[in-house]
Chain A
Amino acid sequence: MITLTHVYGLAGLFFAAISMLSARDTTNPRRLINALFWGLMAVSFLFGNQIGDLGNGLIATGLVMLGALGLGKGAASLPTGETRLAQARRHGNLLFLPALIIPTTALAGTLLVRQSAWAADWIDPGQATLICLAIGALIAVGVLMIWLRPPALAPLEEARRLLETVGWAAILPQMLAALGAVFLAAGVGEEVGRLASLWLPLETRTTAVIAYCLGMALFTIMMGNAFAAFPVMTAAIGLPILIRGFGGDPAAVCAIGMLAGFCGTLLTPMAANFNVVPANLLDLPDRQRAFNGVIRAQAPTALGLLVVNIILMNGLAFSS
Chain B
Amino acid sequence: MFALLGIAVVALGFLLRAHPLLVVLAAAATTGLGAAWTPGVDIGALGLAATDTLRTFGRAFNDSRFISAVWIVLAAIGLLERSGLQEQARRLVSAVRAASPGRLLGIYFVVRQGAAALGLTSLGGHAQMVRPLIAPMAEGAAETTIGPLQERERMLIRAHAAGADNIGLFFGEDIFIAIGSILLMVGFLQQSGIIVEPLDLSIYAIPTAIAALLIHGTRLLLLDNTLRRRLSDTTASSAR
From A219, which residue of chain B is reached at the shortest CB distance? B11
The interface residues of chain B lying within 8 Å CB-to-CB of A144 are 76, 79-80, 83
A38 to B18, CA, bound (A): 22
Report A-chain residues with C-beta under 8 Å of the C-beta of B74: 158-159, 162-163
User: What is the distance, in angstroms, from B220's C-beta to the closest C-beta of chain A?
Assistant: 10
Q: Given A130-B66, A259-B174, do A222 and B80 touch, yes or no (CB 8 Å)?
A: no
The CA of A175 and the CA of B11, in the complex, are separated in Å by 16
A24-32, A97-105, A198-206: which lies at the interface: A97-105
Chain B residues with CB under 8 Å of A195's CB are 4
> Residue B155 at the A interface, CB < 8 A?
yes
Chain B residues with Cβ below 8 Å from A134 are 69, 72
B83 touches A148 (CB 8 A): yes
Collect the chain B residues with CB atoms within 8 Å of residue A148's CB.
Answer: 79, 83
Chain A residues with CB below 8 A from B165, complex form: 278
| CB <8 Å contact, A188 and B7 | yes
- Pair B69/A297 contact, Cβ less than 8 Å: no
The smallest beta-carbon distance between B29 and chain A, in angstroms, is 9
Interface set, chain A 1-60, CB cutoff 8 A to B: 4, 7-8, 10-11, 14, 41, 44-45, 48-49, 52-60
CA A309 to CA B185, docked complex, whole Å: 17
With an 8 A cutoff between CB atoms, is A120 at the interface?
A: no
- Contact in complex: A223, B14 (CB < 8 Å): yes
A270 lies within 8 A of B14 (CB)? yes
Chain B contacts of A55 at CB under 8 A? Answer: 58
Q: Is the Cβ of B155 less than 8 Å from the Cβ of A293? A: yes
Residues of A within 8 A of B228 (CB): none
Contact mask for chain A residues 291-307; partner B; CB cutoff 8 A; 1 contact, 0 none: 01110111011001100
Total count of chain B residues near the partner, CB < 8 A: 117
List the A residue with the shortest CB-CB distance to B76: A140
A308 is an interface residue with CB less than 8 A from chain B: yes
Knowing A155-B75, A183-B6, the reply to whether A250 touches B189 (Cβ < 8 A) is yes
A58 to B57 Cα, complex, angstroms: 9
Contact between B197 and A161, CB atoms less than 8 A apart: no
B83, chain A: closest CB distance, angstroms:
5
Interface residues on A, range: 35 or more
Residues in chain A near residue B70, CB distance under 8 A: 130, 133
Main secondary structure of the interface of B (DSSP, over half): helix
Q: Does A266 contact B (CB under 8 A)?
A: yes
Contact of B76 among A137, A275, A296, A301 (CB under 8 A): A137
Residue B176 at the A interface, CB < 8 A?
A: yes
Q: Is B28's CB within 8 Å of the partner chain A?
A: yes
CA of A223 to CA of B16 in the docked complex: distance in angstroms?
Answer: 9
Residue of A nearest to B175 (CB): A103
A148 to B83, CA, bound (A): 8
Say yes or no: is B35 at the interface (Cβ < 8 Å to chain A): yes
Interface centre among B14, B31, B162, B196 (most CB of A within 10 A): B162
Q: Are B32 and A186 in contact (CB under 8 A)?
A: yes
Q: B171 to chain A: which residues have CB within 8 Å?
A: 259, 262, 305
| Contact of B34 with A by CB under 8 A | yes
Given contacts A188-B6, A255-B202, A305-B215, contact A297 B160 (CB under 8 A): yes
B178 touches A133 (CB 8 A): yes
The answer to whether B57 and A103 touch across the interface, beta carbons within 8 angstroms, is no
Chain A residues within 8 Å of B, Cβ to Cβ: 4, 7-8, 10-11, 14, 41, 44-45, 48-49, 52-61, 63-64, 67-68, 77-79, 81, 84-89, 91-93, 95-96, 98-103, 106-107, 110, 126-130, 133-134, 136-137, 140-141, 144-145, 148, 150, 154-159, 161-163, 166, 168-188, 191-192, 195, 219, 222-228, 230-232, 234, 236, 239, 243, 250-252, 254-256, 258-259, 262, 265-266, 270, 274-275, 277-279, 281-286, 292-294, 296-298, 300-301, 304-305, 308-309, 312, 316
Q: List 10 A-B contacts (CB under 8 A).
A: A57-B58, A77-B82, A96-B88, A102-B76, A134-B69, A185-B56, A186-B35, A224-B14, A255-B203, A308-B208
Q: A84-B82, A144-B79, A265-B170 are in contact. List 16 more A-B contacts (CB 8 A).
A: A11-B69, A84-B87, A89-B84, A102-B76, A103-B118, A128-B197, A130-B198, A134-B72, A158-B74, A159-B74, A174-B68, A188-B4, A232-B7, A255-B203, A262-B171, A285-B151
Closest 6 A/B residue pairs (Cβ): A158-B78, A57-B58, A88-B84, A181-B60, A56-B58, A177-B187
